[in-house]
Amino acid sequence: MSIEKIAIVGGGIVGTACAYYLAREGKQVTLFEETVIAHGASGRNPGFVWLHTRNPGFGREVSLAGRELYDTLKDELPLDFEFRASGGIIFYTTEEQGEIVREFVSTVQADGYPMEHIDGAEVRRMVQPIRQDVLGASYCPADACINTPLLVRSFAEGARQAGADIREGVAVHSIIQEGDRVVGVETAEGRFEADAVVLGAGAWARKLADTVGIQLGVGGERLQVAATVPVPEIKVEPLVYGPLVTKQYRLFRDLPSWNADHFTEPYEDEANIEVLELMSQRKNGEILMGCAMDYPDEIDLRPTVEGLARSLQSIVQDFPGLRGVAVDRVWAGVLPFTSDTAPIIDEPIPGLFLGSGHVYGNAAGPMTGKLITSLVLGREPEIDLEEVRFDRALEMPGSGVAVRW
């Protein structure tokens, strides 16, 4: 069957990237977003295109391909999305942490992956407000920074210019299936028929997949972020992760010398909140920092007093140069994830294409748009999709259960 008319559900990075690439192929594309473009995870994250800790396999391959794609997108898309090839670091402050970070660097270097070890003086040069006793960091030159909401809006505008219809404020209530094939969506404006439906609705995709009997193994992880007022006189050059984040990543946990005791703070256990300590700086000088992570029963985009307190506690401890800087705003976003951290990119029912569960969406989202476009057009995808098939064994995420990357 020739696919010409396509409905896309979700106005985040995956949905708008799909709209952009499919519209450029001359397809009739209509994208439905319940609120506004970049409302969900894509509009609420600190802009990390993070390759540093990607696991071998699909995650690493799609992230490297996505990073290369950004070099084209920064010139190709119609709006500036503040791309900065800044690199990224994971710093440490104790000799015990340093032993493990250096082992991590050596291990991924042996795989031919871009990684270096830098000393404390270089970290302090790159990150002006950091504590003076920082000892060193791993440094990945491939990491990059973006303003993700601007990227999503740029994809949407590029799709419009290529002929796509971007409908904001239009909710999709269900997917329509007739026989063994998906034939459209039921929206707040009525039935919309299509030859194919692309479901790219992030943490909200699970509810819509249920309407055609698909149990989608995608959960939602809340991350809480604070932004300062613009402080261009304070420079934060790379993307910054603190030592607490290492326990989230398999590449650290699998190291022979790994010891979680060196990378855990008592206040994390006390609050049942883990802190993904991070920092990035946008073009206007504002500094984004966070992030407390938890797993509410339902999708909840509101930050909590406990979450903000714990994440800012780590920031005050490790970045004394920011203690007197005014906070401009706080927010939360819900990051979709699967139990094995790889997204789902597949066609489980004829006419239904899934792009869901992107825990590292900034790196993988644009490439997912290209991969789903290939699936819709019946072409061979650029990357093998066996690892991200819908029918692989995935655990259904439970309420309050942490995911490890």
CATH number of residue 125's parent domain: 3.30.9.10
Residue 30: how many other CB atoms lie within 10 Å: 19
Say if residue 247 is in the same domain as residue 315. Answer: yes
Residue 68 lies in a domain: no
Tens of pLDDT, residue by residue over 81-139, are: 999 999 999 999 999 999 999 999 999 999 999 999 999 999 999 999 999 999 999 99
Instruction: Please state, in angstroms and rounded to a whole number, the distance separating the CA atoms of residues 134 and 121.
Output: 8
Say if residue 299 is in the same domain as residue 161. Answer: no
Highest-scoring range by mean pLDDT, 215-224, 303-312, 315-324: 315-324
Instruction: Please state, in angstroms and rounded to a whole number, the distance separating the CA atoms of residues 382 and 376.
Output: 13
Q: How many domains does the chain have?
A: 2
The mean per-residue pLDDT over the stretch 150-164 comes to: 98
Residue 137 lies in a domain: yes
Average pLDDT, the chain: 95
Task: Give residue 246's Cα distance to chain centre.
Answer: 17
Say if residue 361 is in the same domain as residue 308. Answer: no
Residue 109 lies in a domain: yes
pLDDT of residue 334 exceeding 60, the answer is yes
Q: What is the CA radius of gyration of the chain?
A: 21
Say if residue 307 is in the same domain as residue 229. Answer: yes
Contact 89, 239 (CB under 8 A): yes
Tell me phi and psi for residue 76, to 5 degrees.
-85, -40
Residue 316 lies in a domain: yes
Say if residue 246 is in the same domain as residue 322. Answer: yes
Say if residue 162 is in the same domain as residue 206. Answer: yes
Residue 269 lies in a domain: yes
Domain that includes residue 346, residue range = 5-47+149-217+340-388
Say if residue 274 is in the same domain as residue 379. Answer: no
- Crossing angle, helix 58-76 and helix 361-377, to 10 degrees? 90
Q: Please give the pLDDT value at position 389.
A: 97
Say if residue 238 is in the same domain as residue 210. Answer: no
Residue 402 lies in a domain: no
DSSP assignment string, 332-399: EEEEEE-TTS--EEEEEETTEEEEE--TTHHHHHHHHHHHHHHHHHTPPPSS--GGG-TTS--PPPPT
Residue with tokens 């990075």: 13
Say if residue 96 is in the same domain as residue 187. Answer: no
Residue 295 lies in a domain: yes
Residue 69 lies in a domain: no
Of 319, 337, 355, the residue that ends a domain is 337
Nearest alpha carbon to residue 283 among 81, 13, 110, 130:
81
The dihedral region occupied by 202, where left means phi > 0, alpha psi between -120 and 50, and beta the remainder, is left
Q: Please give the pLDDT value at position 219.
A: 87
- Residue 397 — very low, low, confident or very high, per pLDDT cuts 50/70/90? low
- Crossing angle, helix 361-377 and helix 148-161, to 10 degrees? 20
Say if residue 332 is in the same domain as residue 213. Answer: no
Structure tokens at 31: 């994208």
Say if residue 224 is in the same domain as residue 373. Answer: no
Q: Please give the pLDDT value at position 273.
A: 80
Q: Give the CATH number of the domain where residue 165 resides.
A: 3.50.50.60
Say if residue 207 is in the same domain as residue 229. Answer: no
- Residue 405 — very low, low, confident or very high, per pLDDT cuts 50/70/90? confident
DSSP assignment string, 191-241: EEE-SEEEE--GGGHHHHHHTTT-----EEEEEEEEEEPP-TTS-B-SEEE
Tell me phi and psi for residue 231, to 5 degrees.
-135, 70
